[in-house]
Amino acid sequence: MMKHNKKWLAAATLLCVGGIASAQSAGSWLLRAGATQLVPSNPSGDLSAPSFVSLDPVTGTRGGGSKTNTASATQLGGGITYMYTDNISVDVPLALPFHHKLYGAGSIEGAGQIGEVQALPATLFLQYRFLEAGSRFRPYVGLGATYAYFFNAQGSGALTAMTNPGGPPTKVSVASKFAPTAQIGASFAVDAKWFADVFYSKTKLTATTTLSTGQKVDAALDPASYGVAIGYKF
């Protein structure tokens, strides 16, 4: 009886290992869903002339120029991966648009929220996944290109009060552009079909914001992305 049970246990183990071995093998499609956080670097560069430069009330020296801070945003995210080989994959992250609030910084730090913008980054990664296809834990690295699409940019009443007091509301636009993105991550196979995935990526991105009053500000956003998801293999 004991020998019989050991045979069944060995067979079950082989089936389990075999199923996991096919989880991220060549030709597989991996679909995942979870949450992604986008964290821009702050603050921006100085607003072009005429900017609002403050004087320190104690020393009388000029403070920093007019800058902006871009707040972080979290959204539903996920992605689709195609395993070209057991180790090389092509990945397309997916997410709903990120809603970023813009705040005054530098000499206008006390202005509060001065605007908002939505961002929809579209990225294509070429990835290399380490270890064997049957490994439960598979770290990976990726390199790709991102098209950062900005839309629905709006200025606040505080921005209009500073840039065009008494006039029409100041309009805001943020230029969309391409930028390189690097990524590291890891997946953990729960069984032959399901897996968990975490990643971190960094995009080298400088965005230019233009006001209807003619002023501009360049921001080295260089956003970092953090994601966690549950995936399924097809």
pLDDT attached to residue 48: 86
d(CA 80, CA 123): 11
pTM, two decimals, is 0.84
pLDDT attached to residue 57: 42
pLDDT attached to residue 47: 87
pLDDT attached to residue 11: 40
d(CA 126, CA 82): 10
Q: Where in the chain are the domains?
A: 2-233
Q: Does domain 2-233 have CATH number 3.40.50.300?
A: no
Judge contact between 218 and 203, C-beta under 8 A.
no
Rg (CA), the chain: 24
Q: Dmax over Cα atoms in the chain, in whole Å?
A: 91
- pLDDT tens for the chain, 234 residues: list them: 444 444 444 444 443 444 454 579 999 999 999 999 999 999 999 988 775 544 344 334 444 589 999 999 999 999 999 999 999 999 999 999 999 999 999 989 989 999 999 999 999 999 999 999 999 999 999 999 999 999 999 999 999 998 889 999 999 999 999 999 999 999 999 999 999 999 999 999 999 999 999 999 999 999 999 999 999 999
Cβ count within 10 A of residue 91 = 22
Q: Between vectors from CA 81 to CA 76 and to CA 87, what angle results, nearest 5°?
A: 135
Cβ count within 10 A of residue 98 = 22
* 131 Cβ contact partners less than 8 Å away, ≥ 6 residues apart: 137, 138, 139
